[in-house]
């Protein structure tokens, strides 16, 4: 790492004791200097890119008296650093001494994440007060460049699980502050005679990840984060939370506070304290967290449009108002994004940002093939797996920038799509077989048929198995047998309604995000959208899906016993006006909803014990 910074500097791009009035003045003159060296093709475009990045988050480090503006720009031909020491420091609200040194990092648009490595190196350099003082005192550009090096850490590595304190640092942009906070904590802990390990969650993903052994054996945990991070893995630990700036400004006090903290952190998640999260679970939760807002938007928009329009016998949903039609259309668009988004973010949780496109495109294909959320999960794992493997390819430096922006998206997507395409024909065969099976059951016991219909509806919530049962019910309306659709109408709404009820009866076994998603599930259940249960099923399929199936089976059986008939090709309480035996319909829904909630609570509670 020693020459990373030196290689990007040149004497004619270093200004000593310069008189720049403010950051804008410096950036504009630096752009001119780069243009004179034919390193910048459009100085105005580059300046615009730099300040567009500034709007995302301040790049100043007031505690160190340093500013690090930076940008990737199509106007830059070759990576370069423009540096300056200032004769008159810039005023800064968070620093008494102001900003007295500035580094402008100019990177080409296709430079992948090389700028993050350089920023990390700069951040490490700036932690050494003697080095910073020497840089400020440099008399010439040559002397300044000579001082620009990062000392190699030759200290003996601490074995896994042998740390007194573990920490996570993360800021919204995941650049300099993330790494400076980490270095500050490590350096201060060393001076206190403690072993401390920091996991950084920066722009290039998670680095130096904490292991389960690290967390288990640590006396204290510090989260110095300005963005949301997954906390359930710290269940049962003494957890201290703060912002990144606190770790930078006062690491000594923060470490002492963490060691003195006696409060035990208890996650609201369903995972038990002695049962660490598996990577598989974390990958799935990456997808779940991303789709909950998508499901909420889609579900509420569709619910609003249907609730204000109603359903009619024979034709089902009848939306005639153009505004409501558009609202329903937008909700459908949001729902259409659910599986691709889920797959994309599962892939991101495995391979970071390079995994998004292979996962999302694979998820879109899976949705188009009618594989439902199960196909989306498969696409997410495949996309992430292929992207992670491709990222390890060693390429010559001259073409390495092509890896994240061309090779991984193109090849990763191709491999993912090829694998997902293979499941298309088996799914078609499955659908045909299930349809014939239901036809054969038509002349048998109505109770058995109700149980089968219920189980199929809840199994994959809008996937191929669900659709077979639903379309079978629609076909039976046309045959003059609305009782089959009555079973469907009950079964489609009990999964989301049951989940909503569970989040209200036992909120402690659900986290805040899940409880909020439970309210969205209520709206979707009322209008017969089974997909409202998908986020919960993805997060914990082995516990949630059996609960959903049990409730839908109970609802389907009762609908069959009481000969509930639905004359509209839709389900849920919203079809009540066109249902035969409305009292039996409501009781069947209530019974299925309660069954789902109680079974789900029992399974999740057992898991948490």
- Residues with a catalytic annotation lie at 70, 171
CB 498 within 8 A of CB 480: no
Residue 46: φ, ψ to 5°:
-65, -45
Q: Classify residue 335 by burial, with Cβ atoms within 10 Å: 0-12, 13-18, 19+.
A: buried
Q: Are strands 316-317 and 165-170 parallel, antiparallel or unpaired?
A: unpaired
Torsion of CA 128, 133, 139, 143, to 10 degrees: -10
CB-CB neighbours of 409 under 10 Å: 19
CB 64 within 8 A of CB 126: yes
Q: Are strands 565-566 and 196-202 parallel, antiparallel or unpaired?
A: unpaired
**Radius of gyration of the chain from its Cα atoms, rounded to whole angstroms:** 29
Token pair of 88 as six digits: 């008159």
Q: Where are the strands (E) in 181-270, listed by range?
A: 196-202, 205-207, 220-225, 239-242
**CA pair distance 375, 427, nearest whole angstrom:** 10
**CA pair distance 544, 539, nearest whole angstrom:** 8
**CA pair distance 100, 115, nearest whole angstrom:** 22
CB 573 within 8 A of CB 524: no
Among 370, 366, 373, 463, which Cα is nearest to 413's?
Answer: 366
Instruction: Quote the Cα angle for 604-606-607, to 5°.
Output: 60
Number of helical H runs and strand E runs in the chain: 25, 15
Cα distances from 578 to residues 310, 482, 530, 548, 584, in angstroms, run 10, 10, 20, 25, 13
């Amino acid at each position: 790492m020693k020459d990373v910074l030196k290689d990007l500097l040149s004497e004619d791009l270093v200004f000593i004791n310069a008189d720049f009035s403010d950051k804008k003045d410096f950036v504009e003159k630096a752009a001119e200097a780069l243009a004179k060296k034919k390193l910048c093709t459009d100085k105005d475009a580059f300046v615009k890119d730099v300040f567009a990045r500034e709007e995302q988050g301040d790049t100043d480090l007031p505690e160190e008296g340093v500013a690090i503006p930076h940008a990737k720009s199509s106007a830059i031909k070759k990576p370069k650093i423009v540096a300056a020491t200032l004769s008159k420091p810039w005023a800064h609200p968070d620093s008494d001494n102001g900003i007295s040194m500035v580094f402008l990092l100019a990177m080409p648009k296709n430079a992948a994440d090389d700028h993050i490595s350089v920023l990390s190196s700069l951040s490490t350099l700036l932690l050494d007060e003697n080095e910073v003082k020497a840089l400020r005192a440099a008399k010439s550009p040559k002397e300044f460049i000579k001082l620009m090096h990062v000392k190699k850490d030759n200290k003996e590595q601490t074995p896994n699980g042998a740390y007194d304190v573990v920490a996570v640092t993360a800021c919204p942009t995941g650049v300099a502050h993330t790494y400076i906070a980490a270095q500050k904590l490590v350096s201060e802990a060393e001076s206190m005679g403690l072993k401390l390990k920091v996991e950084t969650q920066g722009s290039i993903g998670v680095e130096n990840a904490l292991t389960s052994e690290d967390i288990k054996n640590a006396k204290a945990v510090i989260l110095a984060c300005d963005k949301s991070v997954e906390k359930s893995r710290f269940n049962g630990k003494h957890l201290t939370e703060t912002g990144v700036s606190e770790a930078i400004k006062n690491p000594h006090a923060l470490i002492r506070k963490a060691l003195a903290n006696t409060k035990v952190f208890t996650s609201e998640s369903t995972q038990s304290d002695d049962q660490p999260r598996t990577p598989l679970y974390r990958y799935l939760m990456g997808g779940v967290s991303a789709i909950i807002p998508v499901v909420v938007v889609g579900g509420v928009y569709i619910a609003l449009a249907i609730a204000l329009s109603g359903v009619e016998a024979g034709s089902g949903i009848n939306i005639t108002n153009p505004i409501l039609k558009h609202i329903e259309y937008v909700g459908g668009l949001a729902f259409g994004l659910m599986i691709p988004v889920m797959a994309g973010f599962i892939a991101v949780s495995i391979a970071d940002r390079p995994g998004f496109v292979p996962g999302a495109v694979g998820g879109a294909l899976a949705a188009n093939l009618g594989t439902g959320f199960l196909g989306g999960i498969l696409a997410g794992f495949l996309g992430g797996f292929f992207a992670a493997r491709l990222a390890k390819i060693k390429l010559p430096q001259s073409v390495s920038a092509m890896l994240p922006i061309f090779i991984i998206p193109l090849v990763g997507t191709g491999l993912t799509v090829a694998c997902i395409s293979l499941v298309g024909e088996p799914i078609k065969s499955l659908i045909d077989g299930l349809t014939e099976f239901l036809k054969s059951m038509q002349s048998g016991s109505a109770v058995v048929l109700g149980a089968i219909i219920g189980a199929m509806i809840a199994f994959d919530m809008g996937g191929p198995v669900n659709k077979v049962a639903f379309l079978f019910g629609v076909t039976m309306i046309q045959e003059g047998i609305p009782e089959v659709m009555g079973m469907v109408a009950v079964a489609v709404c009990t999964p989301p309604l049951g989940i909503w009820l569970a989040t209200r009866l036992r909120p402690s076994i659900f986290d805040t995000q899940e409880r909020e998603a439970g309210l969205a599930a209520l709206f979707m259940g009322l209008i017969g959208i089974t997909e409202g249960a998908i986020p919960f099923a993805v997060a914990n399929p082995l516990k949630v899906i059996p609960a959903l199936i049990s409730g839908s089976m109970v609802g389907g059986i009762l609908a069959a016993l009481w000969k509930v008939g639905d004359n509209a090709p839709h389900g849920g309480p919203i079809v009540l006006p066109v249902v035969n035996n409305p009292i039996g319909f409501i009781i069947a829904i209530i019974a299925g909803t309660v069954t789902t909630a109680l079974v789900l609570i029992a399974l999740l509670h057992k898991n948490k014990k």
